[in-house]
């Protein structure tokens, strides 16, 4: 490849190929009307109602999932003794809510943290925990049985690990976010890794008719 003519020809050929590919892509997009950018969210073909169970919120009030909340919610499952994934995600959810509030015409979305570890996460603990991240964040928990019903219905498994010699145990749980519609039915899932900016853009798109 020491020959300058050969190098020039190679560069020219590569350039033409790239230009050709680009033009072809532009053309197919125009013809097939492919959306410029696909959603990262998985939208269910038809929304799946939440199970009709009664949970408790961070103020100790009963929340009947069988009754429509009339508000959009973005749900995340975790536990307060979680050092990495939960604070990371909840901090991001606080930023997402603020980001959406700053957009004209964007729907208000409740950020909901469900503790799957009711043995350690009392209502009081849940309250100080969620309010640390965002004064408007909602904490929910319930009996282990009701938590199981909820997680099975959401297809988001979790597992309480065996405690170590100090009694500390980890909880395996999904990093997914669930978009719940005002009729209390699952509308879409977001799987990790998450980005606050992508969530803001897509949540606005998904919740605005």
**Which stretches of the chain bind another protein, using CB under 8 A?**
80-85, 87-92, 94-95, 125, 128-129, 132-133, 156-159, 161, 166, 168, 170, 172-175, 192-196
CB 134 within 8 A of CB 111: yes
CB of 114 to another protein, least distance (A): 13
Task: Tell me whether residue 68 or residue 85 sits nearer to another protein (CB atom).
Answer: 85
| Cα–Cα distance, 32 to 29 (Å, whole number) | 5
Task: Tell me whether residue 47 or residue 88 sits nearer to another protein (CB atom).
Answer: 88
Compute how many other C-beta atoms are within 10 angstroms of the C-beta atom of residue 179: 24
Task: Tell me whether residue 88 or residue 149 sits nearer to another protein (CB atom).
Answer: 88
DSSP 15: H
* Token pair listed for 51: 């199970």
Bond into 37 cis (ω within 30): no
CB of 169 to another protein, least distance (A): 10
User: SS3 of 208, please?
Assistant: coil
Task: Tell me whether residue 45 or residue 193 sits nearer to another protein (CB atom).
Answer: 193
Q: How far is CA 176 from CA 63, 77, 104, in A?
A: 22, 8, 27
Task: Tell me whether residue 115 or residue 184 sits nearer to another protein (CB atom).
Answer: 115
| Cα–Cα distance, 82 to 65 (Å, whole number) | 25
CB of 39 to another protein, least distance (A): 17
CB of 27 to another protein, least distance (A): 34
CB of 71 to another protein, least distance (A): 23
Q: How far is CA 193 from CA 149, 166, 176, 203, in A?
A: 26, 31, 9, 16
């Amino acid at each position: 490849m020491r020959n300058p003519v050969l190098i020039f020809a190679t560069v020219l050929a590569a350039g033409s190929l790239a230009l050709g590919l680009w033009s072809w892509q532009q053309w197919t997009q125009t013809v097939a009307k492919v959306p410029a950018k696909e959603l990262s969210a998985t939208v269910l073909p038809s929304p799946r109602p939440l199970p009709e169970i009664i949970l408790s919120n961070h103020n100790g009030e009963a929340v009947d999932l069988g009754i429509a909340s009339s508000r959009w919610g973005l749900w995340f499952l975790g536990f307060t003794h979680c050092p990495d994934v939960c604070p990371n995600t909840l901090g991001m959810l606080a930023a997402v809510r603020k980001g959406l509030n700053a957009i004209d015409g964007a729907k208000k979305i409740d950020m909901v943290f469900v503790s799957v570890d009711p043995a350690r996460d009392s209502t009081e603990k849940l309250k100080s925990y969620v309010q640390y991240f965002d004064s408007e964040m909602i904490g929910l928990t319930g009996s282990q049985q009701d938590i199981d019903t909820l997680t099975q219905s959401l297809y988001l498994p979790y597992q309480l690990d065996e405690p170590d010699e100090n009694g500390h145990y980890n909880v395996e749980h999904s990093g997914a976010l669930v978009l719940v519609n005002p009729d209390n039915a699952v509308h879409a899932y977001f799987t990790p890794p998450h980005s606050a900016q992508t969530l803001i853009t897509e949540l606005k798109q998904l919740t605005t008719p």
